[in-house]
Chains A and B, each alone.
Chain A
Amino acid sequence: MSVLEQVIHVVAETLNVSPSTITRESAAENTNGWDSLAHVNLMIAIEQTFDIALDVEDFAKLNSVQSITEFIEKMQPDQV
């Protein structure tokens, strides 16, 4: 699975929706259920799934599938 596909999967799992409803364009402002509560759960889920550590400063920036995907790809430049 590509990073994008994994991120979509984690977002869908956290928001309790089908992965087919989440796309590269999905973001907090346009996705149903992606409220502040879900966002915290999402940050925890991203950390646990990708085995990375996030800072409080990162939380606000990671509010879309696009930004999360880029963030993770930057941390893992040598992975496919």
Chain B
Amino acid sequence: MKKNPNNHFATQTRKALKEQAFNWSKNFSLPEAHALVRRLNETEPPEKEFRLGIIHTYTSNLLDPWLHFHAVIQGINLKTYHAPYGLNLMESQKDSCLHAHAPDMILFMLTLEDIHPEFSNPDSSLHLNQINILFEEAVKRILEILAMFRANTSARIVLTLLPPVMPPALGIFDAQSEHSENLWRASLKKQLVDALNNALESTLFFDMDQILADIGRFHFFDFRFWYASRFPFTSLAANEFARRLVNLMAISVYPRAKVIALDADNTLWGGIIGEDGINGISLGPEYPGNTYVAFQRRLLDLQKRGFILALCSKNNTEDVHEILDSHPHQILRRHHFAAERINWLPKIDNLVSLAGELSLGLDSFIFVDDSSHECDIIRSRLPQIEVIQTPSKPVDIPMCLEQIARLEILSLTEEDALKTQLYAQEKQRKQFKQNTNALGGDLNSYLASLKMKMCIEIDSRKNIARLAQLTQKTNQFNVTTRRYSEQQILDFTESNQWTVSSFTLSDIFGNSGIVGLALFHKLTDEAIDIDNFLMSCRVIGRSAESAFLYAMLDYFAEMGITQVTATYIPTQKNNLVADFFNRHGFTPENETGHYKRNLSASPLDRNLFPPIEIEIENTGA
């Protein structure tokens, strides 16, 4: 019997397994995966339910053991419905079994041949000028199919296309040929993604070719199962595919990660600056310094995904700053970090303090440190933080964050890419405010000197991703915490009964991007209800919320609305807005959390409007 290399995972908790660095589960055999699922289901039953529906034109149910394996590790109770084999358009209808299953996600496991019959024609010569027509038809067809499903569900749709089972027809010559298969396949995927982004919301193209690239075609397909049962995957490929899919589920059910808090010594470079000095640490083109450089580059990649970096190091500040400012091979410079705590205090205190400075919850933190001692303390004292201990072998360090579920993203907006810059701007504002206070100025003079400008957009369809993201990510300044998907937001903008309004805020320090959102539900010609009112923590303290609310009440008053109702639903995190409606002229209805304001009986007092210039653009027809 084979020796069991996975024994040491046999008794670990779910949290410990989730926080393993890279590739730990790749060698699990099917029986070992089963055993782990059974053990975790008994000791730590998963708490989050997730419902998956699968439409497939090749065998899909053999994925189940691996889906359950990764789901249970992520604490997800997965309920999967496999539609009957085939591209079954009846499943898109409201009376279908798929619809009855009420999936949170619908996965399409299709092959290229399903999208256009020409792809399965062995005599096709696919001349260059015909390829474009073929692609257009194929993309149109897939969009029509997905639109049929999208019409009756707000589930996230994930489309996959099975990679080619055979290497390119032209072999090694493929890369140099005008008819390169790899090239036209990439081109088809690009056209498909562009069309999906423009036409459908909450629809993701999941590129299986990426899995192929990561594990290799010859380790991906098991020809025995493909030809005998039309199941293409080796255990390794099925394991990997399931892992990535479950990661997508995990990021939709768990609080979003926003910050990567990093230790410095033996994490960003080899060695300890306090002992080795700037010339003694390993950071440069030679081993092991080059592994740390590679890791720093990867952290910069994560920043591109919208995560912000924070530094949390036990050191003298000048020593670390010397590296950040002047070490020739240091990639992450001071401006890459949105905040830093470099001191001799316990890291727990520093992390709590960082959370305060960044106005972010501890459950949005991922902490990375080489020291098992530091990691253990954080795990036991701040369990909301996800803690990753870097591997002991330097060559394993650059890839150590590759498989952390919450570092994947489902969307990327302009705000995400500029996140760190936005935090830097905020630091400048805080400094400016301190200076103003020091000079004896008060809040109003500070606000006025910011020269703020607010642009409100009504029913705009340009930034649906960002608006949906705001409803999903905002926890503190959020009166009802109703979470909406991109599809739902789009539906609201198109509905006569709903008004979606959002605002950007800029001042002398810069533009914060879209930072506030309110959803209004029209009850009658004279009454509206505020379904939600939320704002990014980044712009708290500038009275933007008052400006926005008053501007919208003014807007509705001019349309003849006289009754405005609102609700405050308390959560663990939104105590900040418990008295929001009270402070803005609404009267509470007996402790029910409901509020109302009669705009004709108590009209808006312009003296209460904050010093912000407001512009409203109504883009909805």
Contacts and interface: CB of A to CB of B under 8 A. Distances in A.
| Binding partners A and B | yes
Nearest to B61: A37
A51 B2 contact: yes
B224 A55 contact: yes
A67 B29 CA distance: 22
A14 B35 CA distance: 10
B231 interface: yes
A70 to B, nearest CB: 17
A14 B1 contact: no
A interface: dominant SS: helix
B30 A45 contact: yes
B151 interface: no
A50 B29 CA distance: 11
Contact of B62 (A1, A40, A45, A48): A40
A31 interface: no
B34 A13 contact: yes
A4 interface: no
A16 B34 CA distance: 8
Interface size, A (range): 20 to 34
Contacts of A41: 30, 62, 65
A10 B29 CA distance: 11
A6 B1 CA distance: 8
Contact of B30 (A1, A44, A50): A44
A75 interface: no
Contact of B1 (A44, A49, A59): A49
B225 interface: yes
Contacts of B31: 10, 13-14, 45, 48-49
Interface in B1-26: 1-2
A54 B228 CA distance: 13
A40 B229 CA distance: 9
A48 B236 CA distance: 12
A50 B2 CA distance: 6
A25 B13 CA distance: 38
Contacts of A59: 224, 228
Contact of A49 (B2, B62, B224): B2
A14 B61 CA distance: 14
Given A49-B29, A56-B224, A44 B235 contact: yes
Interface string A1-41: 10000100010011010000000000000000000110011
B61 A13 contact: no
A50 B1 CA distance: 5
Interface in B222-238: 224-225, 227-229, 231, 235
Contacts of A50: 1-2
Nearest to A51: B2
Interface string A45-66: 1001111001110010000000
Contacts of B2: 48-51
A59 B34 CA distance: 21
A55 B228 CA distance: 11
Contacts of B61: 37
B235 to A, nearest CB: 6
Given A1-B1, A40-B225, 15 more contacts: A6-B1, A10-B31, A13-B34, A14-B30, A37-B61, A37-B62, A40-B229, A41-B30, A44-B29, A44-B235, A49-B31, A51-B1, A56-B224, A59-B224, A59-B228
Interface of A: 1, 6, 10, 13-14, 16, 36-37, 40-41, 44-45, 48-51, 54-56, 59
Closest 7 CB pairs of A and B: A48-B29, A51-B2, A45-B30, A56-B224, A13-B31, A45-B31, A56-B228
29 contacts: A6-B1, A13-B34, A13-B35, A14-B30, A14-B31, A14-B34, A16-B34, A36-B229, A37-B61, A37-B62, A40-B225, A40-B229, A40-B231, A41-B62, A41-B65, A44-B30, A45-B30, A45-B31, A49-B1, A49-B29, A49-B31, A51-B1, A51-B2, A54-B224, A56-B224, A56-B227, A56-B228, A59-B224, A59-B228
